[in-house]
Amino acid sequence: MLAFIRFADRLSAWFGKTFAWLIMLMTFGVSYEVFVRYVLNSPTSWSLDVSFIMYGTLFMMGGAYTLSRGGHVRGDFLYRLWPVRVQGAVDFVLYLLFFFPGVTALILSGWKYASRSWRYGEVSVNSPAGIPIYQFKTVIVAAGILLFIQGIAQLLRSVIAMRDGVWIAAEEDVEETEQLLLREQAPRAGIHVE
């Protein structure tokens, strides 16, 4: 179980970090559009669509990574007070009842939309540039498959939590800016921070 959990976490992290670079492309694209629109008075017909496509891709391909790091919003005002074994049992049931059916529906409907879109070479109707969007619809399927794999890892985490009473955390790969600043400033203020 641990080997699969680590595999899924690494896979999700790789895709999440790789697609995070779209932020740089989006920044360049929007900056370019602002420059040509307001300085050269020659706006593009493709910038808005390309920004939407890149943001949607970033959002969808980061879903499994966010799930692996426990970054999704959850209403845990009661949940956090329960013993770990109870948390694991609740997570196990909720993943089976809601997560997997929802992600399966995402994959199947995404496949239907993507295959239809590829068949007729779908383009955006929102701009005169006719930006192709069939490849973007394929991202729906890819994101669903990654979520499904990560969901299996989360289900296995809940089994371990029920069995051993401990949560298997994902490897730390990022740190909140507040934590970095606190650690830097703590020695100056005479505070010990771990």
SS (H, E, C) the chain: CHHHHHHHHHHHHHHHHHHHCHHHHHHHHHHHHHHHHHCCCCCCCCHHHHHHHHHHHHHHHCHHHHHHCCCCCCCCCCHHHCCHHHHHHHHHHHHHHHHHHHHHHHHHHHHHHHHHHHHCCCECCCCCCCCECHHHHHHHHHHHHHHHHHHHHHHHHHHHHHHHCCCCCCCCCCCCHHHHHHHHHHHHHCCCCC
Could you tell me the pTM of the whole model?
A: 0.84
Reported confidence tier of residue 193, pLDDT bands at 50, 70, 90: low
* Overall domain count for the chain: 1
Whole-number pLDDT of residue 67: 93
Domain-embedded: residue 140: yes
pLDDT per residue as tens digits for the range 139-179: 999 999 999 999 999 999 999 999 999 998 888 777 777 77
Task: Report whether pLDDT(101) > 90.
Answer: yes
User: Do the domain assignments include residue 183?
Assistant: no
Cα distance between residue 48 and residue 143, in whole Å: 23
In a domain, 186, yes or no: no
| d(C-alpha 154, C-alpha 105), whole Å | 19
Confidence at residue 164, expressed as pLDDT on a 0 to 100 scale: 95
State which residues form the domain around 72.
Answer: 2-174
Average pLDDT of span 111-127:
90
On the question of pLDDT at 191 being above 90, the answer is: no
Best-predicted range by mean pLDDT among 50-59, 75-84, 131-140, 156-165? Answer: 156-165
